[in-house]
Structure 1
Amino acid sequence: MGFIDWIKGFVTKDDGSISLKEYHYELSVKAYAKKLAIETCIDIIAKTLVRCEFQTFDKGKETIGNNYYLLNVSPNDNQNASEFLHSLVNKLIKNNECLVIMQSDQLFVADSFTRTEYALKENEYKNVSAKTLNFNKTFYESEVLYFKLNDTNIMNVINELHEDYGRILDSAINIYKRSNAKRVLLEGDFLRPQSEEEQSMIDEMFNTQFKNWFEADNAGAVFQLQKGYTLTDMSGSGKSGTPSTTSRDIRAVIDDIFDFIAMAFHVPRGMLKGDLADVEKQTDNFLMFCIMPLIELISDEFNRKMYDKKQFIERTYLKMDSSRIKIIDIVQLATAADKFFAIGVNNIDENLRMIGREPLNEDYSQKRYVTKNYESVDSIGEESKGGEGT
């Protein structure tokens, strides 16, 4: 038993129990770093995807109809598109899967469900619930939107890895607390016979004076040492009196937790921690390995459930436009917009949308133009042949 525990034994009676508040604190110390990293990753991914626009096409022509409104504005009566996508990403990452129910021309993210897989017929979904709504029916694969992130749930790996790192983090915190705790050496004759008066003085020293001295919240405290006792401050380590560990040791363990969670979700470590160094490279890496695969996953599922094969072949489909994710200065876009227009890639309306402005929707703004500086390779070849024969 440590000296501090010995002193506390005089002041309080320990019955071996732990209060609910202390138990909750013990759990939170182990879990808060992991939860912070996971929730931050989810928030970054969801907010990035929200920047995308669901574009709908009818036989190759971009249209704005019911599906466009449903996916970009209001999927259901109680959520806007941003809230809906946040909920979808949250379920997808934490559970490795997410189920979206299409009911009464509305989309709902399911909170719980039971999935039964089949090889030669449609999968079934039962016990589906969303908020307070319980669907007392069986849904079939063609009636729902089902998203699966990975073949193996990465959260299971994170939880197993965090079991060990949680213990390391606890150890670092405990070592820090012990290293920075007040430690004293009390010397005196405690084994000699004590009269009631002397015992009363000793009890007063331990129960009141020591307690007030160790638990003082102000800048200082005075301790009245009884005659025959010597008190030596042993706080700190070594001759320098400085703690053997600092809060940086705890931060190093937390950084490790952030690093392996960032790795699991393909979120750059610097982006997760808010570092500004190499932001552009971090963003490109994030888009390539995290966001673009999610865009493919989400758009593929919407396309195969909202449109049939014939419609898709005829170019009636939807896609998620990721061009708005990166914020680019309009001046930087000027040269690119001019080049796209000059070679006929964009018309005026498409250039306006590219810089975030509303299209004109006029006949002339939807025509494509090409500068006269360009000509086909075939025409150059014909001219060469004609020159050789003259």
Structure 2
Amino acid sequence: MFKFLWQRDKEMQSLAEIIAVDMEKLNLSKLAIEKAVMMIAKAIAKSDILIQTESKEKNKQEYRLNIQPNDHECGTVFWTEVVRQLLTVQEVLIIPLGGKYYLASAWNVSNNVLTERTYSNITLTCAGYDYPIWKKKRSSEVIHLKYDNARIRLYLQNVVEQYDRTLDAVNAMMRMSSMPRFKLKLGTATLSFREKQADGTDKEMTKDQYVKKIKSLLESNELAVLTETDNVAIEQLQINTTTKAEELAKMALQINNEVANAFDIPEAVFNGNITEKSDATNEFITYAVGPVAEVINDTLTAYIVGENDYCTKNEKVMVWLARFKHVDVVDSATNLDKLRGIGFNYDELREMVGYTVLNTEFSQARALTKNYGEEGNGNAA
């Protein structure tokens, strides 16, 4: 009987430890995933989307893509949410309407393979409100972004499985603790249990009889006083589990590194350990941001430019990631001077470092200070 109570106590303590640790892991994983997603989303949202085309609608389209996709959202908020969904849900549907762009929160799509697919039952979401549209759309009329990263998908699945295991442990804990449990402590000495009878005599009791009597007293609705001897005590089971700060720090570092690897973010960038000589930022742009930006480039080019202009005029749409990385004009003066020497004008250089363009005859003039001619023609400098 008492061995059973001891085993049950250990089982509940074990479940409580599992729940405590799992909840800490889940909270840390959620924070790490949110940080990774926002790092990539902000990098793309901060970058400009350029349209390399001779179309007269270029400026208006770039305004809608970069500044105000629709009347209620700015470009930064819009593209941050696009990338967030692209990384977590791994697909995003953008609906162009009247030259404006809206995100879809729900839709149905046909499974055509050799012909265009049809999108129906589309619900738009804009500035916190939903708006259903009943008109069907073809593939060529929507911007459907898809990004299937196996490592991100696997990690997110593991987090969901961790949620399920934690919920199972919580449910088991609730079932076990739905009724109060008590622990009867007995000393090592041999004890005899006696009960006072109505006639004043004592009656000897077994351990099971004594436990049964204690149980009836605990379940009684009447006021009762339990007496204890030096070798007998009754305690209610208490479950108190905590995670030490040192263990939490180690767990956080491990989870951060796992999330960073899943999203192809260098650990130095994710954990903020970048040194002056480190190439971690460039690696972050190349391996974490670049693939997502390339999906946006291809999909926007297909919708805005189209096959004919892409093939005949080499027109395209691109996320200009050079704007994301901070450029110190003083540290980069020598390199900028070299760019000026091979034909870049002042406006192009100012735009590279985030300055406003002057749009003057002087700033748009090109001055070649080096003459790169073909070999053997006598013009090579």
Tell me the TM-score normalized by structure 1. Answer: 0.68
- What is the CA–CA distance in structure 1 between the aligned matches of 2:256 and 2:51, rounded to whole Å? 38
Partner of 1:192: 193
Partner of 1:121: 115
Name the aligned partner's letter for residue 355 of structure 1.
Answer: V
Paired residues in the alignment total 320
Say whether 1:33 aligns with 2:32. no
Partner of 2:76: 82
Query: Is this contact kept in 2: 1:352–1:359, CA < 8 A?
Result: yes
Query: Is this contact kept in 1: 2:67–2:74, CA < 8 A?
Result: yes
Tell me the TM-score normalized by structure 2. Answer: 0.70
Name the aligned partner's letter for residue 119 of structure 1.
Answer: V
Closer/same/farther in 2, CA of residues 277 and 265 from structure 1, 3 Å limit? same
- What is the CA–CA distance in structure 2 between the aligned matches of 1:195 and 1:258, rounded to whole Å? 65
Worse overlay, 39-48 or 148-157 = 148-157
1:228 to 227, 230, 236: 230
Q: How does 1:92-111 map to 2 (within 5 A)?
A: 92-111=86-105
Partner of 2:260: 262
Name the aligned partner's letter for residue 260 of structure 1.
Answer: E
SS in 2 for 1:351: helix
- 1:255 CA drift (Å): 3.6
Partner of 1:322: 321
Name the aligned partner's letter for residue 328 of structure 1.
Answer: V
Partner of 1:134: 132
Say whether 1:51 aligns with 2:53. no
Question: Cα deviation per residue 1:220-247 (whole Å; 9 max; x = unaligned)?
Answer: xxxxx9763599xxxxxxxxxxx9x844
Question: Cα deviation per residue 1:355-383 (whole Å; 9 max; x = unaligned)?
Answer: 22211212232121111576553333899
Q: How does 1:141-160 map to 2 (within 5 A)?
A: 141-150=139-148, 154-160=152-158
- 1:54 CA drift (Å): 1.4
- What is the CA–CA distance in structure 1 between the aligned matches of 2:21 and 2:244, rounded to whole Å? 20
Query: Is this contact kept in 2: 1:113–1:127, CA < 8 A?
Result: yes
- What is the CA–CA distance in structure 2 between the aligned matches of 1:167 and 1:64, rounded to whole Å? 52
SS in 1 for 2:257: helix
RMSD: 4.3
SS in 1 for 2:279: helix
Say whether 1:291 aligns with 2:289. yes
- What is the CA–CA distance in structure 1 between the aligned matches of 2:195 and 2:264, rounded to whole Å? 69
Query: Is this contact kept in 2: 1:128–1:134, CA < 8 A?
Result: yes
Q: How does 1:173-192 map to 2 (within 5 A)?
A: 187=187, 192=193
- What is the CA–CA distance in structure 1 between the aligned matches of 2:7 and 2:108, rounded to whole Å? 56
SS in 2 for 1:377: coil
- 1:282 CA drift (Å): 1.9
- 1:192 CA drift (Å): 2.8
- What is the CA–CA distance in structure 2 between the aligned matches of 1:93 and 1:382, rounded to whole Å? 50
Name the aligned partner's letter for residue 270 of structure 2.
Answer: L
Partner of 2:60: 66
In structure 2, the gaps of 5 or more residues are: 13-18, 170-184, 198-209, 219-226, 234-240
Name the aligned partner's letter for residue 61 of structure 2.
Answer: N
